[in-house]
Every structure is written in C-alpha cells, then in structure tokens.
A and B are shown apart, each in its own frame.
Chain A
Amino acid sequence: MSDIIAFREPDQAILERRTEILADLADLLPADCLVTEERELVPFETDAFVAYRRLPLAVALPQSTEQVAALVRYCHRFNIPVIPRGAGTSLSGGAIPQEDALVIGVSKLNRILEVDLPNRCARVEAGVTNIAISQAVDADGFFYAPDPSSQLACTIGGNIGMNSGGAHCLKYGVTTNNLLGVRMVMFDGEIVEIGGKALDAAGYDLLGLVCGSEGQLGIVTEATVRLIAKPEGARPVLFGFPTSEAAGACVSEIIGAGIIPVAIEYMDKPAIEICEAFAQAGYPMDVEALLIVEVEGSDEEMEAMLARIIDIAKRHGVSTVKESQSATEAALIWKGRKSAFGATGRISDYICMDGTVPLGQLSYVLSETSRIIARYGLRVANVFHAGDGNMHPLILFDANDPEEARKAELAGNDILRLCVDAGGCLTGEHGVGIEKRDLMTHQYSRADLDQQMHVRAAFDPRWIFNPSKVFPLENRPRSAAGNAT
C-alpha cells in the first residue's frame, strides 16, 4: 500500500461511539441492508484505485430514496462522513472510505423505472449498471451513449458522480450531455428533483453542477437519461503508422475535414504488443502507432466515410490499413483495445493516467511522457481517445517493489502536470478522487479552488459528503466544520 496521498485523521468521537451509531443505523434500514462485520467490510475498503484502502465504519445498502434520506439526515445530525458508492470501479479512489465514514452503496437501487421511447429517455435508479440501460432498449433500436470501459459493472449513479465518458463520446458527448434529470438526497435529508424529461430546467444549471461533482453535493438515487437511436451498423478500421507524429496529424486532419467518427482510439507500440499478445486481434506489429477509427451508419454511409478517411490516412503515410470484413473481425479489433487494461494487468502492475490535452499538443505530450518515464527508469504503454485528446498512459511497475511503486506514482504526477502545462487538464473522465486531489493546485489558483469550495458548501455546509476527495486537505475554508480539515 502506498503512502504518498495523505488521509485525514478519523474523528475519534465517532469511532468511540461506533456501537451506538451502528444500532441507530440498523433502526433506519430493513434487515440485511447494513454491513458491519469486518470481513464483510473488506470489499468496500477500496475501489479500482487499489493502492489505497481504509475500512469504513459501516456500509449501508438502502432499498429506497427515503432510506437514503433517513441515513443522510442521521449522519448530518452527528457529523458522520458519508461516502456514496456505485459499483466501486473508480480509478481515482472516489469511493475509498475512511474509518469514521458510512458508505452508502446504491447497489440495491437497481430498478429501471420507466422507458419512454417517444421521448427517448429512461428513468432508472442509481444502482442500475450503465450497460443495463442500453440492453433494456436494444430491441427497440436505442442505446444510452456514454460507454466507459467498466460499463458492464459501473452504475449510472457512479457515472453521474464522475461525469463518465467512454470511447464513443467523441460523437455523443459524456454523461453531462446525456443526462436530463436526477432525484437527489441533500445534506439534510431533503429529497429534491432536478430537471426531468424536458431538455432544460428552470433556474441555475444545478444538474450541470451535480454531474461530475464526485459525490460531494448529495446522493443521486434516480436519474433520467437520454436515449439515442442506434445506428444501423458500425465498422472499425485499423490504421498503422510508422511514427506517432503521422498518426497524430492524421487525427487532426480527419476532424478538421468535418468527419467526426464515433471513435478514434490510439495505441502506441508497447500497447499494441501487450494487446496483441492477449487478444490476437491481428494488430500490425511493425508500426509505431495504431489508430482504430470507427464509423457508423448504413453500409453506403460507412463506405463513403471510410473512403474519405482512408484517403487522409494515405496522405499521412499510413503503412497498414485493415478494414473489418465481418462482425467477428470488428469485434476482434475492439477486443484488443477494450482489453488493454486487463491485458496490461496480466503482464505487470500499472497505474492509468487520465489527463486531456489540446489535440495540437498530442505529439509533444507523447514524447515528453516517454522522457519522464525514462527518467524514472520505468515503462509506459499509451492507449487513449485521440479524437478528444484524452490520454491514458499506463505506467508499468512492480507493486512488490515499494520504491518502484513510489516512482510510478511520482512519474504519473509529473505526466499530469505536463498535461496541464500543455493547456490541458488533470482528468478527462476518471475524476480527481484522492488520486489527483493534491495536484489540483497545479491546475487551479487558490481563488479558483476557494470558489469551488464555497459552491460545494452551498450544497453541503458541514462537508459530510465524500469530504476527503477532490480538494487538497490544506487551505479548506474555515466555515466548513470538522470534516473539512
């Protein structure tokens, strides 16, 4: 376990009253909805950011919004920190608890409440998985667009918390662009409806603020999301390039030409080797960079679009072009890409960065990344969403070697600073969580962070929701009571 990121000291008064608190919580929930035994708490001690872990005070798994409200009301009254949790797939430690905190998991809020096809929306409980929404409307020819890699497991509640993206957001946008409304429990247990089925809501854009707030403003228990008509077909094409610069320039020209494919994914040579060894996707091994460009529509449309894209790629010296000839081949091409994290995990421990940079800076940031990694004596594989500049360098290291693990974390921080300095940001879709919390001062001024924290306090005056996340522990406003510091 690493120690670069600090945790705040747990509130001793809460720990001392644990038995009493657990008894009170049990009164607020049906049987089997409260987890208190240490061995049963272990699965909740971390999320997908596994280098850090802490056992929570208890885990509540409520079955209704009203139960969530009762829990929050209680925690607010006694200043007990609340950690909202979806499926625990956060890559930034967004769901990592602490000894004095109650985890409120939404896994039992898993009903699809309404599918409204004429209005192309669905109302679902927060614990419904991302993929389940698309599956529920698939036969009717619709889908829910944001598709994070963890979509089989991750919940819509977690997606809203992190404003999740995915490979296809180049065309369809991220969660905030596909969310119409939420039902949310406020700090004092009040249940509010923000937005609904209409395309906009009255007043300030509270929905925009809640989306991506990393569980700090309230607990979302229901969501109304947009559905989109499914394209007739989709076809990925592989392009191999002799240099990363050529691949980068090709991406710029495709987009500049007014062609917005649904996805443009980039892989560098180490990533190609790792994924090919795992998936046997037929990736070319003699190239420095690979693009997977996916277009969609009817056969005629896809052919016309691909003809233009291939033309552009040729102008940039593409050395391999491989069009999928069947659904099986298409699936294989994506299998390589989608298994990138898993395949990397089989050969090495890794941490995954998530900075976004302006498209014009891609080549520069890639070469600087290599330089940083070399300085620490590590290896890196790059797999990312090239169309929107969202980089995912995977830094490989040996977790059994504490010194190397430390180097990997430090190298990651250097890469994120590089992304900010290149005009980008710390995180494009994984969230700040605890992972990037202490880097926030690199992207934002003191006044910027103070302003965000003042707005946060308007939602949660005592900072009970996910208090150790996003904002550096130092310099928090005094107005925020105990949990803030």
Chain B
Amino acid sequence: MYQPANEDELIACIADAAAVATPLNIRGGGTRDGLGNPVACEAKLDLSALTGIVSYNPAELVMTARAGTPLAEITAALDANAQMLTFEPMDHRPLYGGSGTPTIGGVFAVNASGPRRILAGAARDNLLGVRFINGMGEVIQSGGRVMKNVTGLDLVKLLAGSYGTLGVFSTVTFKVLPKPETAATIVVSGLNDAEAAAAMAEAMALPVEVSAAAHLPESVVGRVLNGDLANAPATCLRLEGLTESVDVRREKLLAAMADKGPVTVIDQERGEKLWCDISNVRPFADRRDKPLWRVSVTPSAGHVLVAALRLQTGVDAFYDWQGGLVWLAMEQDPEATLLRAAIAQLGGGHATLVRASADMRASVPVFEPQPKPLAMLSARIKAAIDPHNIFNPGRITL
C-alpha cells in the first residue's frame, strides 16, 4: 500500500507504478467502495494522508483543499464562516455502512450531488480547478480558482465523476456559497406518483426558486424524519434564502399548492434532517439484501418508469430532482435488462446499480452501457490520460 503524505510522494508513487504498469486501487476514505465494479488489483494508493485546506478566503467564495481532506474538516471550516458546499454532496455511508470518513477528493471523483442539484448544479458544476497526476506521473493543472474560466479544454468536468480512472487528484478548488439565511419545506400530502410529478413541475415553473423537489410515496415516507411525516405520501418542496424573501415565496407556493392536498410547512431544522435523509437514501439504507438502483431520467418520466416496472416485477421507489432522480429498490433480481429497456423506451437516461451482492454486480453491468461510438471515444480519452491503464482498472466499464 502507498500512502503519500505530499504531492511529491504522490507523484513518485504513480511514476513508479507507471514504470512497471502496476495497477493502483485509488482510495480516499473508502466510504464509496461499493459504488461501481470492484477494482481488479491488489496495490492500494491511499490518499488519506494527503490532507489539509490549502487556501480559503470566505469573501472570494472559493476553497482549495488536498484531495484526502476529510469532508468533515471542510464542512467545519465552512460552518465557521456560515458557508457551505451548495451541491449538498451525498454521503454514501448509510447505504454501504462502514466507518470510513468521506474525503473531498472522493466527493468530486464520483460527482456526488444532492437535492439542491436542480438549482445549484452538481458537484461538477462547482469544481473550479484541479491538480491531478496523470497515468504517466505528470502533474496536470486544469481550471483555476475563478468562477468564469474558458481557457483551454475543460478537463475539470472530465475528471469530475470519472471514479478515479483518469487521474489522481492532488488538490481540488471549488466554489462555496453563503448558507441560506433561512429555509422552509412545504409538504403536500396524499398525492400519487403521477400527481406528485405534475405538482413538482408546476412548482418549478413558478418564480419562487424551489431549491429541492422530492416525492416520497406511502411505502417509504415512514422511513424519513423518524417517521414524523405520518403515513401519507409526501411531496416536498424547499425554499431557501433571505428571510423576507422566503416569507413571500412560501405564501405564493402555499397558495399554488393549496388545491392539491393537505399542505404543511416544515421549519429549517427539521427540513435539514429531511433533505439529508432524502439525499443519503435513508429509506432504503437498511435493506441491504435488496438490489438498489440510481436512475436518472427526464423528470416527468420517473414515475412512468416505476409504474411500468411494477407491472412486471416487485419494486419500491422514491424520487428526487423533480422526479428525474429515481431511487429504485428491487424485491429480488436486479432486472437490469428490463429496467434499461424501459428507460430507453421513455426517452433515455441511465441506471447505476448502486448496491447489490458481489455476485449480482459481477453478472450485471453496474453502469449504463454506452453506445459504441461513445464507448470507443471514452476508451480513447482514458488512453490519452492513463495510457498504461493503472488507475482503478475495472471500476467503470468503458
């Protein structure tokens, strides 16, 4: 195992590995090991000693940190200045268990994005610059620490969400934002999935700046917020911002939703817990034996997909991102073929088998197979950055 303590050591490890084409399993806190295919190699490159915030000037809304910095350290520094990561990175620990600590590099490596993605963008939208080591052991800088930058090819976006298969982050520079002064979550009760999709689309069309929109069907609603939402399906809409502004928008949204069903308002503190439960897939966290999919589709297609699957197999589901992000728990078999065919029929999207037994993951493509031209292009890109295929071999399918 390699455990570099600084960038020079990191470069040396990778240059050594590249020289003899030894594949490396790249790890931060190890909290997302279950995500993707098992990495097919023995040697581990552990980044947990490559830590520390390199620069943070709250007035500039930008932070630079070494890749292995625990997310908790980042959050603590931001908390002290009433700032936050606006994309609400999902924490995978409730799903996979384990006692590791998520790192900021890991967050960007899997593009972990939460409910606010519909308003504030994904992790990739908030990553401004990276320093990474490519598969030849060279330090590569892309992007920077400014909000607007179109200088050269955007390798920053490419590296975000590449699951450590292209390069190893040394430092990441990302946008941070002031925390909203206040928040309110409006819950409409009793809607079925189709009605909820329509209500969420209507809310998003209003000039009230909904920052999160999720629907929890009856089967899952008891498993968030300690069961406080009673037993009726809950369609949740969050507003955030300056107090005066949230007050005004809340009244507007309440008025618009009044005819849909009983409406309640959840305050900021309980709202935080609710959205955390949704972001981290709390409703399906404890059903470890059942295959779990993360499905990304056109928002209005989410509930149609679930209804179509129900005719053929046992599924349970809830929706984030206005219905476009579907968390789908299968009763028994992952039903990958059935699921992917249904997605294609509904206008496209993709499904990731987020949790399943090792046997299942070995027999089913964990990530959505790409059309051939894109798969070949992706393989050429991989070869352009990691020509000896030493980074996380097998983690994603190319």
Binding site for B on A (CB under 8 A): 116-120, 141-142, 162-163, 165, 169-170, 173-174, 176-177, 186, 190, 192-194, 196-209, 211-213, 216, 229-232, 252-253, 255-260, 297-298, 300-301, 304-305, 308, 356-360, 385, 388-390, 423-432, 436, 440, 443-445, 447-449, 451-452, 454-459, 470
The docked-state distance in angstroms from the alpha carbon of A156 to that of B78 is 37
Residue of A nearest to B139 (CB): A447
Residue of B nearest to A200 (CB): B296
Q: Which of A165, A297, A356, A455 contacts B245 (CB 8 A)?
A: A297
Among B41-49, B97-105, B369-377, the stretch in contact with A: B369-377
Cβ of A23 to closest chain B Cβ, rounded Å: 30
Q: Which of A201, A257, A432 contacts B350 (CB 8 A)?
A: A201
Using known A-B contacts A192-B374, A204-B158, determine if residue A118 contacts B242 with beta carbons closer than 8 Å. Answer: no
Known: A205-B160, A216-B153. 15 other contacts (CB 8 A): A197-B298, A200-B122, A203-B367, A209-B153, A229-B205, A258-B82, A357-B146, A358-B60, A385-B148, A423-B145, A428-B146, A429-B150, A431-B150, A452-B153, A458-B384
B59 engages A256 (CB within 8 Å): yes
A202 engages B207 (CB within 8 Å): no
Cβ of A175 to closest chain B Cβ, rounded Å: 9
Cβ of A205 to closest chain B Cβ, rounded Å: 5
The docked-state distance in angstroms from the alpha carbon of A128 to that of B156 is 28
The docked-state distance in angstroms from the alpha carbon of A211 to that of B158 is 11
Using known A-B contacts A197-B347, A200-B122, determine if residue A119 contacts B299 with beta carbons closer than 8 Å. Answer: yes
B157 in the interface (beta carbon within 8 A): yes
Task: Give the residues in chain B near A449, CB-CB below 8 Å.
Answer: 152
Cβ of A379 to closest chain B Cβ, rounded Å: 26
Q: Which of B205, B245, B347, B348 contacts A141 (CB 8 A)?
A: B205
Among B22-30, B65-73, B173-181, B309-317, the stretch in contact with A: B173-181
Task: Give the residues in chain B near A425, CB-CB below 8 Å.
Answer: 144, 146, 149, 151
Cβ of B348 to closest chain A Cβ, rounded Å: 5
Q: Which of A198, A229, A301, A447 contacts B298 (CB 8 A)?
A: A198
The docked-state distance in angstroms from the alpha carbon of A432 to that of B153 is 10
Using known A-B contacts A208-B160, A298-B248, determine if residue A197 contacts B146 with beta carbons closer than 8 Å. Answer: no
B244 engages A443 (CB within 8 Å): no
Q: Which of A192, A208, A212, A230 contacts B371 (CB 8 A)?
A: A192
Contact with A along B316-333 (1 / 0, CB 8 A): 000001001100000000
Task: Give the residues in chain B near A357, CB-CB below 8 Å.
Answer: 146
Cβ of A161 to closest chain B Cβ, rounded Å: 10
The docked-state distance in angstroms from the alpha carbon of A117 to that of B252 is 20
B242 engages A208 (CB within 8 Å): no
The docked-state distance in angstroms from the alpha carbon of A116 to that of B385 is 38
Q: List 20 A-B contacts (CB under 8 A).
A: A119-B298, A119-B324, A142-B205, A198-B348, A199-B296, A199-B325, A208-B154, A213-B154, A252-B60, A255-B178, A258-B180, A258-B242, A358-B146, A389-B146, A425-B144, A431-B150, A440-B152, A455-B385, A459-B377, A470-B153
Task: Give the residues in chain B near A173, CB-CB below 8 Å.
Answer: 121, 125
B150 engages A198 (CB within 8 Å): no
The docked-state distance in angstroms from the alpha carbon of A163 to that of B148 is 10
B245 engages A301 (CB within 8 Å): yes
Using known A-B contacts A196-B349, A211-B154, A455-B385, determine if residue A259 contacts B300 with beta carbons closer than 8 Å. Answer: no
B162 in the interface (beta carbon within 8 A): yes
B206 in the interface (beta carbon within 8 A): yes
The docked-state distance in angstroms from the alpha carbon of A197 to that of B178 is 30
The docked-state distance in angstroms from the alpha carbon of A56 to that of B178 is 50
Using known A-B contacts A119-B201, A203-B367, A204-B158, determine if residue A445 contacts B144 with beta carbons closer than 8 Å. Answer: no
A427 engages B121 (CB within 8 Å): no
B160 engages A260 (CB within 8 Å): no
Cβ of B125 to closest chain A Cβ, rounded Å: 5
The docked-state distance in angstroms from the alpha carbon of A390 to that of B180 is 25
A443 engages B151 (CB within 8 Å): yes
Cβ of B132 to closest chain A Cβ, rounded Å: 9
The docked-state distance in angstroms from the alpha carbon of A190 to that of B139 is 33
B158 engages A205 (CB within 8 Å): yes
B161 in the interface (beta carbon within 8 A): yes
A430 engages B150 (CB within 8 Å): yes
The docked-state distance in angstroms from the alpha carbon of A193 to that of B349 is 12
Task: Give the residues in chain B near A297, CB-CB below 8 Å.
Answer: 207, 245, 248
B204 in the interface (beta carbon within 8 A): yes
Q: Which of B141, B179, B249, B324 contacts A448 (CB 8 A)?
A: B141
Cβ of A219 to closest chain B Cβ, rounded Å: 15
The docked-state distance in angstroms from the alpha carbon of A454 to that of B383 is 9
Interface hits, B196-230 → A, CB 8 Å: 198, 201, 204-209
B153 engages A455 (CB within 8 Å): yes
A447 engages B138 (CB within 8 Å): yes
A163 engages B146 (CB within 8 Å): no
Interface hits, B50-71 → A, CB 8 Å: 57-62
Task: Give the residues in chain B near A443, CB-CB below 8 Å.
Answer: 151-152
Residue of A nearest to B348 (CB): A196
Q: A198, A425, A436, A449 — which one has the most chain B CB atoms within 10 A of its CB? A: A198
B146 engages A424 (CB within 8 Å): yes
B189 in the interface (beta carbon within 8 A): no
Interface hits, B250-278 → A, CB 8 Å: 252
B378 engages A203 (CB within 8 Å): yes
The docked-state distance in angstroms from the alpha carbon of A69 to that of B130 is 35
Task: Give the residues in chain B near A120, CB-CB below 8 Å.
Answer: 201, 204-205
B150 engages A428 (CB within 8 Å): yes
B121 engages A177 (CB within 8 Å): yes
B121 engages A259 (CB within 8 Å): no
Using known A-B contacts A199-B321, A203-B396, A204-B378, determine if residue A388 contacts B147 with beta carbons closer than 8 Å. Answer: yes
Interface hits, B161-203 → A, CB 8 Å: 161-162, 166, 177-181, 198, 201
B374 engages A194 (CB within 8 Å): yes
Task: Give the residues in chain B near A207, CB-CB below 8 Å.
Answer: 157
B245 engages A426 (CB within 8 Å): no
B154 engages A176 (CB within 8 Å): yes
Residue of A nearest to B244 (CB): A304
A229 engages B204 (CB within 8 Å): yes
Cβ of B300 to closest chain A Cβ, rounded Å: 5
Cβ of B72 to closest chain A Cβ, rounded Å: 23
Q: Which of A186, A208, A258, A454 contacts B384 (CB 8 A)?
A: A454
Using known A-B contacts A451-B134, A455-B384, determine if residue A186 contacts B373 with beta carbons closer than 8 Å. Answer: yes
Task: Give the residues in chain B near A190, CB-CB below 8 Å.
Answer: 373
B297 in the interface (beta carbon within 8 A): yes
Task: Give the residues in chain A near B150, CB-CB below 8 Å.
Answer: 162-163, 174, 212, 427-432
Cβ of B115 to closest chain A Cβ, rounded Å: 12
Q: Which of A116, A186, A427, A470 contacts B377 (CB 8 A)?
A: A186
B155 in the interface (beta carbon within 8 A): yes
B142 in the interface (beta carbon within 8 A): yes
B125 engages A176 (CB within 8 Å): yes
The docked-state distance in angstroms from the alpha carbon of A169 to that of B153 is 20
Task: Give the residues in chain B near A205, CB-CB below 8 Å.
Answer: 111, 124, 157-158, 160-162
Task: Give the residues in chain B near A252, CB-CB below 8 Å.
Answer: 59-60
The docked-state distance in angstroms from the alpha carbon of A119 to that of B304 is 14
Cβ of A91 to closest chain B Cβ, rounded Å: 12
Cβ of A477 to closest chain B Cβ, rounded Å: 10
The docked-state distance in angstroms from the alpha carbon of A243 to that of B384 is 50
Cβ of A349 to closest chain B Cβ, rounded Å: 25
Task: Give the residues in chain B near A186, CB-CB below 8 Å.
Answer: 373, 377
B7 in the interface (beta carbon within 8 A): no
Contact with A along B64-101 (1 / 0, CB 8 A): 00000000000000000010000000000000000000
Q: A174, A229, A429, A451 — which one has the most chain B CB atoms within 10 A of its CB? A: A451
